[in-house]
Amino acid sequence: MGKQFKGPFSGFVGKTGGLVGRYVKGQFIITSVPMRSKKPPTQQQLDQRSKFALIVNFCSYISELINIGFAAHAVKLSAMNAAVAYNLDHAITGISPLFTLDYPHFSYSRGKLYNVSDVEVEALAGAKLKFTWTMSQNLVKLNNPSDQLSLLVYNPTKQQYVVLTHAALRSALTYTLQLPADFAPDDVYCYLALQSTDAIVSNSYYAGNLAVL
């Protein structure tokens, strides 16, 4: 049963007869109930579903980062949907039906803030990763020492994620991340991005993969 919230002339939420109502981004959207197709899906449709599931599964575990990194792209889509759409176009590799995530091209943040330079990641004993970077001396609005660094480390062997949204300041030039002890000796994939105090973000940066010690 559909429910109206603003009187008899407003939109509704739920199913009423052959119509389905949703409230999205401040608007009521009313569509017909979708008809179930009796045709078997084409290989192209199966491939697209496989790619979509791959991206959605990965992104669902890092929603905290995506809600920050794709907030500016959430105009008609949510930040998560914007991230999924971007990575469907840029971060899938492989040949049907064996698709995989293209880790170097995956992105959890897209924006115009200046990124850091000369990024390096070093594995230290005790399951630690030491991130180092440099910053431009040209201090402008899009390159401020107070910008906050976020980090993502993904362990595909264990399918686990380490996420930090405010790890360090841009001006710190280094940060040592403690990983779970059982991550050693697995390979991990590393990313970073920046956010300013007024919520402008950088593109996320793929910092490479390495074995945890």
Using pLDDT thresholds of 50, 70 and 90, give the confidence band for residue 35.
low
Contact yes or no for 131/90 (Cβ under 8 A): no
Q: Which residues face 4 on adjacent strands?
A: 12
Which is more confidently placed, 178 or 73? 178
Per-range mean pLDDT, top range of 38-47, 74-83, 196-205:
196-205
Q: What is 117-211's CATH number, 3.60.110.10, 3.50.50.60, 1.10.287.130, 2.60.40.10? A: 2.60.40.10
The model's pTM is 0.81
State the Cα–Cα distance between residues 107 and 86, nearest whole angstrom. 8
Angle of CA points 70, 73, 77, to nearest 5°? 100
Give residue-wise pLDDT tens across range 74-114. Answer: 777 799 999 999 999 999 999 988 999 999 999 999 999 99
**Count of alpha carbons within 13 angstroms of residue 106, beta-carbon side:** 25
State the Cα–Cα distance between residues 137 and 202, nearest whole angstrom. 17
Per-residue pLDDT, 67: 96
Using pLDDT thresholds of 50, 70 and 90, give the confidence band for residue 201.
very high
Contact yes or no for 119/193 (Cβ under 8 A): no
Which is more confidently placed, 80 or 5? 80
Domain ranges in the chain with CATH number 2.60.40.10 = 117-211
Per-residue pLDDT, 64: 97
Per-residue pLDDT, 73: 86
Q: Which run of H or E residues covers position 129?
A: strand 128-134
Q: Which run of H or E residues covers position 188?
A: strand 187-195
